[in-house]
Amino acid sequence: MADATPGPADPALIENLVAANRILSREGVVDGFGHVSVRHDSAPGVFLLARSMAPGLVTAADIMMYGLDGEALGDDRRTAYVERYIHSEIYRAQPEVTAVVHSHSPAVIPFGVTSAKLRPIYHMSSFLGSDVPVFEIRDTHGDATDMLIRSPALGAALATSLGRATVALMRGHGNVVVGRSIPEVVFRAIYTEMNARLQGDALRLGDGRVTYLSDGEAAASMATNAGVLTRAWELWKEAALGGAS
Ligand code: MN
**Ligand 1 geometric centre to CA of 192 (Å):** 16
The 10s digit of each residue's pLDDT in 106-163 is 999 999 999 999 999 999 999 999 999 999 999 999 999 999 999 999 999 999 999 9
pTM here is 0.96
Q: Is the pLDDT of residue 208 over 90?
A: no
Q: Is the pLDDT of residue 1 over 50?
A: no
Task: Give the Å distance between the CA of 18 and the centre of ligand 1.
Answer: 19
pLDDT per residue over 216-232, tens digit each?
999 999 999 999 999 99
**pLDDT at residue 231, rounded to an integer:** 95
Round the average pLDDT of the chain to a whole number and report it. Answer: 96
C-alpha of residue 49 to centroid of ligand 1, in Å = 14
Distance between CA 212 and CA 130 in Å, rounded? 9
pLDDT digits (tens, 9 = 90+) for 13-58: 999 999 999 999 999 999 999 999 999 999 999 999 999 999 999 9
83 is catalytic: yes
Enumerate the domain spans of the chain. 11-239
Q: For domain 11-239, give the CATH superfamily.
A: Class II aldolase/adducin N-terminal domain (3.40.225.10)
Determine the pLDDT at residue 5.
84
User: pLDDT at position 206, please?
Assistant: 76
pLDDT at 243: 61
Cβ pair 118, 196 in contact under 8 A: yes
Please give the pLDDT value at position 245: 47
The C-alpha R_g of the chain, in whole angstroms, comes to: 17
SS (H, E, C) the chain: CCCCCCCCCCHHHHHHHHHHHHHHHHCCCCCCCCEEEEECCCCCCEEEEECCCCHHHCCHHHEEEEECCCCECCCCCCCCCHHHHHHHHHHHHCCCCCEEEEECCHHHHHHHHCCCCCCCCCHHHHHHCCCCCEECCHHHHCCCCCCCCCCHHHHHHHHHHHCCCCEEEECCCEEEEEECCHHHHHHHHHHHHHHHHHHHHHHHCCCCCCCCCCHHHHHHHHHHHHHHHHHHHHHHHHHHHHHHC
**Average pLDDT rounded to a whole number, residues 85-97:** 98
Q: Check pLDDT > 50 for residue 82.
A: yes
Interval between CA 214 and ligand 1 midpoint (Å): 31
Annotated active-site residue in 15, 27, 71, 83: 83
Residue 82 Cα to ligand 1 middle (Å):
9
Contact 121, 195 (CB under 8 A): yes
Four-residue CA torsion sign, 11, 32, 89, 128:
negative
